[in-house]
Structure 1
Amino acid sequence: MPAHSSYDLLPLFLTSFTTLLAVINPLEVLPVFLSITHDKDESARRRVAIRAAVYTAALILFFLFFGAAVLKIFGVSLHMVRIAGGIVLTRIGFELFTPSRSGESSFLDPGPDANIAFMPLAMPLMFGPGVIATVLGMMATIEKSDHELAAYAAILGAAGLAVLVTLLCLVFAGRLVKWLGRTGIDAVTRIVGFFVSAMGVSLVFDGVMGALITYGVKVVL
């Protein structure tokens, strides 16, 4: 995505928000969150949820601003990030179609001294490989232009809103599970999986096209 005008910042914001929210997928986090906090009261659960959201936001900010430096260290181009990130997203999307195995998580008994807000909630549940790939892919779409700062602001706002929505889902986890039920959560998860797969395929396509153009291959559409 080249230069961003004031007219396409809103689509950038909406696309970034929906992609991040879909990949974080609060509905997949809910069962594990309730399981590992089953011995806590509502106040303690709320504190755990807030800390997990803060950790997730910090990790997203780190990869958004320092992702380029990490790529340079490993000698990876932005086009390759798009392709790899798209493959990861596509795989995650397909996995969301399968029956949820959250109840079989190995993190259900993290131990009395474990910081459950960081692990497993922030990592790897809320900030896993899919989110890393998504954030790096977003960064890869922001090329040098007069609107680069505005594009970063749009993505930052989208990331903040996605984390906030996830936080609210965790805070009201008990009510959501009762309201949606297991069938409702599974249905929404499968719908989300379809769109995550579509986003992944789109990212792969953009990465391949960009790489071909970079290496001098003429592409006629």
Structure 2
Amino acid sequence: MIESLISDILFGFTGLISIINPIGIAFVFLDRTSTLTDEERRLLAKRVATNACFVLLAAFFVGTPILHFFGISMEALRIGGGLAVAVSGWQMLNAPEPEPPVANDPAVKPVSAWSATGKAFFPLTIPLTTGPGSIATAIALNANRTHKLSAWLLSSIASVAISVLVMVVIYYVYSRAARLAHYLGVEGTRVAMRVSSFLLLCIGVQIILTGLTGFLTPIAGLHVAN
């Protein structure tokens, strides 16, 4: 029983963390919080990580009933969410290089910590961190959850453990994004941000293609059968 629980936790954690890709998204997070201090960025990283934990818990426990209630299919979730991710990646990929601010320049209007905090849930948590891919994966992991009490308890424990582990990794990586950028240098950070933006675009496109494949495959099967 314990071995099965550990196996489920490791399987779910590795699957979700590979889809979320916190190291790659950390540069996106750094770009969106470039005007904040290290302490403000740390607090924002904590909020984003906490939000991500609750999003995953919601997907684990009530994701399937909510989709059924609103009549939303998994394919629609992937297509819509993938589109949001792809658009965000495209915008960042084509954004001009920021000019370094001039000291005491009245034209420079830094983004306040309050303004950045207002974006902690959208878009920093959804869709940049816990996007449609991770939400769909969390829902799929518990799609066949049994109603047997012992199995349900083990599945619930695994879901909570996975969500907490993902939260810890997101916080650790995001809060140290500036340090990672410091090691890479200015040019290395710019290259990493562009690569991350391109990967974000590709992830969005792949999610859309997965949703379209799931939607079109049954239609194609019916056409062939007729």
TM (norm. structure 2) is 0.64
Match of 1:53 in 2: 49
Q: Deviation of residue 188 (structure 1)?
A: 1.7
CA RMSD of aligned residues (A): 4.3
Q: Deviation of residue 26 (structure 1)?
A: 1.6
Match of 1:3 in 2: none
Q: Percent identity?
A: 21
Match of 1:71 among 67, 79, 94: 67
C-alpha contact (below 8 Å) 2:45/2:175 kept by paired residues: yes
C-alpha contact (below 8 Å) 1:89/1:196 kept by paired residues: yes
Match of 1:175 in 2: 179
Q: Deviation of residue 177 (structure 1)?
A: 3.3
Distance 1:31 1:81, change over 3 A: closer
Match of 2:211 among 201, 207, 212: 207
TM (norm. structure 1) is 0.65
C-alpha contact (below 8 Å) 1:94/1:197 kept by paired residues: yes
Deviations 1:158-217 (A, max 9, x none): x54544333223433443332223322221222233333333333333322322344573
C-alpha contact (below 8 Å) 1:64/1:139 kept by paired residues: yes
SS across alignment from 1:183: helix
Match of 1:128 among 101, 118, 126: 126
SS across alignment from 1:200: helix
Residue 88 (structure 1) aligned with residue 84 (structure 2)? yes
One-letter code aligned to 2:207: L
Distance 1:11 1:66, change over 3 A: closer
Q: Deviation of residue 127 (structure 1)?
A: 0.5
Deviations 1:47-89 (A, max 9, x none): 5543442233223322443232332332211221122223233
One-letter code aligned to 1:124: F
Q: Matches of 2:96 and 2:166 in 1, distance apart?
A: 22
Match of 1:27 in 2: 27
Aligned residues: 204
Match of 1:189 in 2: 193
Distance 1:47 1:184, change over 3 A: same
Q: Matches of 1:107 and 1:125 in 2, distance apart?
A: 19
Q: Matches of 2:111 and 2:68 in 1, distance apart?
A: 37
SS across alignment from 1:129: coil
Distance 1:209 1:171, change over 3 A: closer
Distance 1:216 1:173, change over 3 A: closer
Q: Matches of 2:199 and 2:222 in 1, distance apart?
A: 30
Q: Matches of 1:168 and 1:100 in 2, distance apart?
A: 29
C-alpha contact (below 8 Å) 1:88/1:129 kept by paired residues: yes
* Bigger CA radius of gyration: 2
Distance 1:53 1:144, change over 3 A: closer
Q: Matches of 2:34 and 2:24 in 1, distance apart?
A: 17
Q: Matches of 1:7 and 1:180 in 2, distance apart?
A: 36
Gaps of 5+ in 1: 1-5
